[in-house]
Chain A
Amino acid sequence: MVVLSVLRAQLGMPPRRYLDLLRVLTERYVKVRYRGSFLGVYWSLLNPCIMTAIYTLILGHTFARYYNNSIVDYLESCFVGLVVINFFSTSTGHALPSVVSNSGLLNKIKLPPSLFPMSLMSASTFQLAVGVFPVLAIITLVTSKSLLNVLLLVVPVFALVLVSCGTALIVSMLYVFFRDIPYMYELLTFAFWVATPVFYPISIVDERYRFYLQLNPLTPIIQCIRELTLSARLPNLEIMAQGLLMGIFVALFGWFAFRNRSALFMDYL
């Protein structure tokens, strides 16, 4: 009961109604993105595949010694990293203009503004669940031969969704006030791309700075998924918990930052 009333106060409406709205908008975004062709979901795999090929061609030979002298291991771990960073940057990039681009609706119908970034995030999550996730699960099954690892894969992926949701809420809120945010956000996602051990092993970074990379919420997520997909042993639970906690923190921070500013939105839309 208490949980329900807290939820109701946070959402500004009965949770049931919020979910109804979320579902219908998610369906809309999914339908528009794929225009009826289910194969469209798999198109989203093309980007990380091509990028993996490029990185492997150029850096694979040099970095292989950090990956048990195996180019295949480098390729797999590069793919995992790219899938994660790719989801993060495209899903938040889609959500960034969502509050502003629906200002017409917000001015006509009483709707919670958080609905738009949240429904875009859930459309992206749907895409992740049917496109990339099965691929990761297959890789895990083949390399680690452990069903437990496949099941545990849900945890870091959930953490990734949380981090992205929090970030999506923050950037879509900032965009209401500052319309030049996209340029800066582009720079920021590039910084993330490089400051996350996506295409290089974390061990080549000077130990003094490795701590800062560990503060990046995507780092433990990528490390955790790599451990699960690439090795048969049970993953480092500490890293898994770290990723999950960071995810929860970013999501809550994003939600409250958004709520805190949303009373001012209508003056700017």
Chain B
Amino acid sequence: MLRKELDPLVIPTNGSPAPKREALVRPSICLRGVTLLRRTQEELTYDLKRNLFALVEGRYRRPASKPVLRNINLEVPPGEKVGVIGANGAGKSTLLKMICGILRPSKGTVEVRGSIAPLIELGAGFDPELSVFDNVILYGILLGSSKASMLERAPGILAFAELESYASMPVKTLSSGMTARLGFAIASDVDPDVLILDEVLSIGDEHFRNKCRRRLEHFWHKDATIITVSHDLAFIRESCTRVVCMEEGRLAFEGPTAAAIRFYLDTVSEADSLHRGE
């Protein structure tokens, strides 16, 4: 029954390996009519005192909610590499948070099949007092692994970050570049069915950047489903089989990479000419 309600927007991509099987293979990610209303932070009063005074004086009103995502229908077959593009504030990162399960939709449903891993920037989240090794274990478990598997994987992670000799030092003694390397090493040491990438990370010196790139390429060659947000259109053109273009919380366009990028660039130049006209 739900199948009937699928949005006609979902069209098979030319050139992707999946289209013929698509009718048989269940989608790896499926969003149906997803709408998200959020109380916007600028309207909130984080203050009991002021809320009480407003209540007493009769000025109190419930904080208004604004739609951040509007009626999004998206189906991603397994193994597809999807790029998400759009202007700042169009809801790209919110869409990824929705797929990760960090935010829950106000309306509609989000389904993800298989394991999901966000490849996120961990650098700022480390506990500075804990040792490098303990942080590896801690974040591995927070990201979804068990303690036993983290103990097994920790040496490999430290080796990738080239921080073996710092294992017992507190994280606060690391340089910011080293911390970023550690973050990437932990977050990318995964083998998920669905990989979420919010802006491709490029960190560290030239040597480490190459390592990052190689590890990311490795994901591309496997059959993991990848969703990536990026402003780097050259990267999107090169590495995605399908692209979603977002505009003010809507899916403005969805289709083959080249067409989507053309659509996006057209909307940008339209907006530019409007600005120049004023």
| B274: Cβ under 8 A from any A Cβ | no
B135 to chain A, nearest CB (A): 9
B187 to chain A, nearest CB (A): 10
Q: What number of B residues sit within 8 Å (CB to CB) of A?
A: 31
Q: What number of A residues sit within 8 Å (CB to CB) of B?
A: 29
Q: How many A-B residue pairs have CB under 8 A?
A: 73
Binds A, one of B9-17, B38-46, B79-87, B206-214: B38-46
| B142: Cβ under 8 A from any A Cβ | yes
| B146: Cβ under 8 A from any A Cβ | yes
| B103: Cβ under 8 A from any A Cβ | yes
Once A32-B129, A266-B102 are accepted as A-B contacts, the answer to whether A105 and B47 lie under 8 Å apart by CB is no
From A109, A180, A184, give the contact of B142 (CB < 8 A).
A109
Binds A, one of B118-126, B156-164, B232-240, B248-256: B118-126
Q: Is the CB of B39 within 8 A of A32?
A: no
Q: Is the CB of A109 within 8 A of B118?
A: yes
Q: Which residue of B lies closest to A23 (CB)?
A: B147
B95 to chain A, nearest CB (A): 14
Once A28-B127, A110-B100 are accepted as A-B contacts, the answer to whether A268 and B46 lie under 8 Å apart by CB is yes
B210 to chain A, nearest CB (A): 26
Q: Which of B92-144 contact A (CB under 8 A)?
A: 97, 100-104, 118, 120, 122, 124-125, 127, 129-130, 134, 137-138, 141-143
B70 to chain A, nearest CB (A): 17
Chain B residues lying within 8 Å of A180, measured Cβ to Cβ, are 46-49
Q: Is the CB of A184 within 8 A of B48?
A: yes
List 11 extra interface pairs beyond A266-B102, A267-B38, CB under 8 A.
A21-B141, A21-B142, A28-B130, A35-B129, A106-B102, A109-B118, A109-B120, A180-B46, A267-B41, A267-B44, A268-B46
Can you report 30 residue pairs joining A to B where beta carbons are below 8 Å apart? Answer: A21-B141, A23-B147, A24-B141, A24-B142, A24-B147, A25-B138, A28-B130, A28-B138, A31-B130, A31-B134, A32-B127, A32-B130, A35-B129, A104-B124, A107-B97, A107-B102, A108-B118, A109-B142, A109-B143, A111-B142, A177-B46, A177-B48, A178-B48, A180-B47, A181-B48, A264-B39, A266-B38, A266-B103, A267-B38, A267-B41
A residues bordering B, Cβ < 8 Å? Answer: 20-21, 23-25, 28, 31-32, 35, 104-111, 174, 177-181, 184, 263-264, 266-268
